Amino acid sequence: MKRTKVIDALKCTNFGSDICVKGWVRSKRGSKGIFFIALNDGSTIKNVQIVGDEANFPEETVKRITTGACLCVEGKLVESPAAGQASEIQATAIEILGDCDNTYPLQKKGASWEYLRTVAHLRPRTNTFGAILRIRHNMAMAIHTYFHEHGYFYFHTPLITASDCEGAGNMFQVTTKNLYDLKKDEQGKIIYDDDFFGEQTSLTVSGQLEGELGATALGAIYTFGPTFRAENSNTPRHLAEFWMIEPEVAFLDQEELMDLEEDFIKYCVRWALENCKDDLEFLNKMIDKTLLERLEGTVKSDFVRLTYTEGINILQEAIKNGKKFEFPCNWGDDLASEHERYLVEEHFKKPVIMTDYPTAIKSFYMKQNPATPEGGSVGYKGCVAPGPTMQGTDVLFPSIGEIIGGSVREESYDKLMAEIERRQMDMTHLWWYLDTRKYGSCPHAGFGLGFERLILFVTGMQNIRDVIPFPRTPKNAEF
Ligand code: 4AD
Ligand code: MG
């Protein structure tokens, strides 16, 4: 008999008809010679109930129906007398496809997140991880659909690169060289001419620079791929391998960039509300009772737009009124997560788009704001900053902090070169990037959304290690 997925079986009202389902046993209980199996095949958070009379099955078969075992069940679909389910299956034949003995690591309910990370090969079979992974899939579909519907082209940027987009030096090297036998020059620097690519290469930290090449040809592109960062940050929000979405758009200005960031995130959250109802309701019940309310609030609210300088003033005011932060937040300091979260969760109580960051804490490619004679600069809506600023435009979210990092790009060759020289950057590997500013340069802007940070927000989970199937973090590359 042809298999019916559990999600379809549960919708079926064709009572009395024969049906075949396959899946894994979530639980089995029995009373008075009747057994009840909760069977799940991953197609939905919901289980289908299998009912059987022990007398109709070999004793050996009934014994082998254990938590985690894989079954093929044939039977009749009937209306269920039990509350909470419309139908159930009265089993006529049960085949054990895969036995599961009592060493199965997922037998106990209520295992800790830490424990589940040690069994990441099996945790997708739990209710919570099943829900998260279905939502993760749906968010990927939302992203592709959003950009496709808005006329963006999916542009594939390389994962192996000779350039460091963010200039932070947090890159994983890619080499086929024998590490015990490296050729070095007189200064002790490694010579790469006999390495696979003939030069030093790494895994990319961002597809942005190549994305800009796409945008200045196709008008509007987006990337969606893995990125790699060898930063030794053991936090609930950092992974060494994460997925990033990077739209890049020609002729987009600062206000339009903010519009895009806001519209895009709201679209994704709305998609989740519309397409992941069962999974979100489960997470709302089991993980975070305010999840649905927060997601609905995000879709309805207007994000606050303010400059870094205005943000610092609010934080300084809070300190004056007795608020204590662990890290300093004077003008020029990089905002810590506690500062971002204060602004979003306590002060404004909604998402914030922050723009015009000090030049010294941002990347070289961002558009520079015009300078004042006193050494300051003028930015968004005429806001005056005490020092040089750039049109870096990040989105800060409740419980996450920075979810998007973006900017308007510096399109002037001379200004960009001056900044590169000021930073004493080695541009030998980026000559092609500078060509965009030499040949038909155009105003353009874009951003990077950390996919796992979006999933954290949409699921209400607390640790980024629990929203990707197999997390990569310092000292952990298992599975
Ligand atoms: O702010 P970031 O470093 O920006 C860029 O890489 C730009 N080139 C993007 C662009 O403008 N095209 O990273 C962008 C986002 C962050 O806001 C955060 O959501 C996520 O990527 N992110 C990380 N997510 C998980 N683990 C990490 N280690 C992350 N680092 C950044
Ligand atoms: Mg950033």
Ligand 1 contact, 19 CB (< 6 A): no
CA distance readout (Å), 48 to 75, 120, 281, 354: 12, 25, 18, 47
Ligand 1 contact, 471 CB (< 6 A): no
Question: Of ligand 1's atoms, which has the minimum distance to the CA of residue 247?
Answer: 12
> CB-based contacts of 113: which residues, under 8 Å, 6+ apart?
462, 463, 465, 466
- Asked if the model's pLDDT at residue 232 lies above 90, the reply is no
Ligand 1 contact, 239 CB (< 6 A): yes
Place of tokens 């010679």: 33
Q: What is the mean pLDDT of residues 155-161?
A: 98
Indicate which residue's Cα is closest to atom 21 of ligand 1. Answer: 450
Task: Say whether 241 sits in a helix, a strand or coil.
Answer: strand
Q: In which band, very low, low, confident or very high, does the pLDDT at 417 lie, cut at 50, 70 and 90?
A: very high
The pLDDT value recorded for residue 181 is: 87
The pLDDT value recorded for residue 427 is: 86
Alpha helix positions (H), 395-450 = 413-422, 431-438
Q: Are 214 and 448 in contact (CB under 8 A)?
A: no
Lookup: tokens for 66: 């254990």
- 79-83, 119-123, 444-448: range with lowest mean pLDDT: 79-83
Alpha helix positions (H), 29-78 = 59-63
The amino acid present at 74, given as its one-letter code, is E
Q: What is the mean pLDDT of residues 369-391?
A: 97
Place of tokens 């309310």: 293
Ligand 1 contact, 453 CB (< 6 A): yes
| C-alpha to C-alpha distance for 59 and 94, rounded to whole angstroms | 12
Q: Are 400 and 444 in contact (CB under 8 A)?
A: no
Residue from 310, 315, 314, 316 nearest 385 by CA: 310
| C-alpha to C-alpha distance for 218 and 453, rounded to whole angstroms | 28
CA 234 to centroid of ligand 2, rounded, Å: 17
Place of tokens 């990033």: 244
Residue from 121, 154, 124 nearest 140 by CA: 154
The pLDDT value recorded for residue 300 is: 96
Question: Of ligand 1's atoms, which has the minimum distance to the CA of residue 244?
Answer: 21
The pLDDT value recorded for residue 110 is: 84
| C-alpha to C-alpha distance for 73 and 50, rounded to whole angstroms | 8
Substitution candidate for ligand 1 out of 143, 204, 206 with most atoms within 8 A of CB:
206
Residue from 14, 8, 83 nearest 44 by CA: 8
Place of tokens 């549960």: 10
- Asked if the model's pLDDT at residue 454 lies above 90, the reply is yes
> 300-329: per-residue pLDDT in tens?
999 999 999 999 999 999 999 999 999 999
Query: Which fold would CATH assign to domain 6-98?
Result: OB fold (Dihydrolipoamide Acetyltransferase, E2P) (2.40.50)
- Asked if the model's pLDDT at residue 85 lies above 90, the reply is no
Q: Are 430 and 373 in contact (CB under 8 A)?
A: no
Indicate which residue's Cα is closest to atom 22 of ligand 1. Answer: 450
Give the number of whichever ligand sits closest to the CA of residue 170. Answer: 1
Q: Tell me 376's DSSP state.
A: -
- Asked if the model's pLDDT at residue 10 lies above 90, the reply is yes
CA 407 to centroid of ligand 2, rounded, Å: 10
The percentage of residues in the chain with a pLDDT greater than 70, rounded to a whole number, is 100
Q: Are 380 and 307 in contact (CB under 8 A)?
A: yes
The amino acid present at 241, given as its one-letter code, is E
- Asked if the model's pLDDT at residue 233 lies above 90, the reply is no
> CB-based contacts of 277: which residues, under 8 Å, 6+ apart?
none
CA 71 to centroid of ligand 2, rounded, Å: 47
Q: What is the mean pLDDT of residues 177-201?
A: 93
> CB-based contacts of 108: which residues, under 8 Å, 6+ apart?
none
Indicate which residue's Cα is closest to atom 3 of ligand 1. Answer: 405
CA 278 to centroid of ligand 1, rounded, Å: 30
Ligand 1 contact, 165 CB (< 6 A): yes
The pLDDT value recorded for residue 117 is: 97
Domain with CATH 3.30.930.10 in the chain: 125-170+205-466
CA distance readout (Å), 386 to 131, 354, 357: 48, 17, 11
The pLDDT value recorded for residue 168 is: 81
Beta bridge partners of 428: none
Q: In which band, very low, low, confident or very high, does the pLDDT at 83 lie, cut at 50, 70 and 90?
A: confident
Residue 291: in which H helix or E strand, if any? helix 291-300
Read off φ and ψ for residue 316, nearest 5 degrees.
-65, -40
Ligand 1 contact, 446 CB (< 6 A): yes
Ligand 1 contact, 403 CB (< 6 A): yes
- Asked if the model's pLDDT at residue 169 lies above 90, the reply is no
Ligand 1 contact, 246 CB (< 6 A): yes
- Asked if the model's pLDDT at residue 109 lies above 90, the reply is no
Ligand 1 contact, 208 CB (< 6 A): yes
> CB-based contacts of 98: which residues, under 8 Å, 6+ apart?
69, 70
Ligand 1 contact, 450 CB (< 6 A): yes
Q: What is the mean pLDDT of residues 418-441?
A: 94
CA 66 to centroid of ligand 1, rounded, Å: 44
Q: What is the mean pLDDT of residues 399-422?
A: 96
Give the number of whichever ligand sits closest to the CA of residue 474. Answer: 1
Beta bridge partners of 245: 224, 449
The percentage of residues in the chain with a pLDDT greater than 90, rounded to a whole number, is 93
Ligand 1 contact, 398 CB (< 6 A): no
Indicate which residue's Cα is closest to atom 7 of ligand 1. Answer: 448
**Beta strands 87-98 and 48-53, pairing class:** parallel
Burial of 293 (0-12, 13-18, 19+ CB in 10 A): exposed
**Beta strands 153-154 and 220-228, pairing class:** parallel
Q: What is the mean pLDDT of the chain?
A: 96
Indicate which residue's Cα is closest to atom 23 of ligand 1. Answer: 450
Indicate which residue's Cα is closest to atom 24 of ligand 1. Answer: 450
Lookup: tokens for 252: 């987009």
The pLDDT value recorded for residue 107 is: 86
CATH number of 125-170+205-466: 3.30.930.10
Indicate which residue's Cα is closest to atom 28 of ligand 1. Answer: 238
> 111-136: per-residue pLDDT in tens?
999 999 999 999 999 999 999 999 99
Gyration radius (Cα) of the chain, Å? 27
Domain with CATH 2.40.50.140 in the chain: 6-98
Q: What is the mean pLDDT of residues 316-345?
A: 96
Residue 384: in which H helix or E strand, if any? strand 384-385
The pLDDT value recorded for residue 108 is: 80
> 36-74: per-residue pLDDT in tens?
999 999 999 999 999 999 999 999 999 999 999 999 999
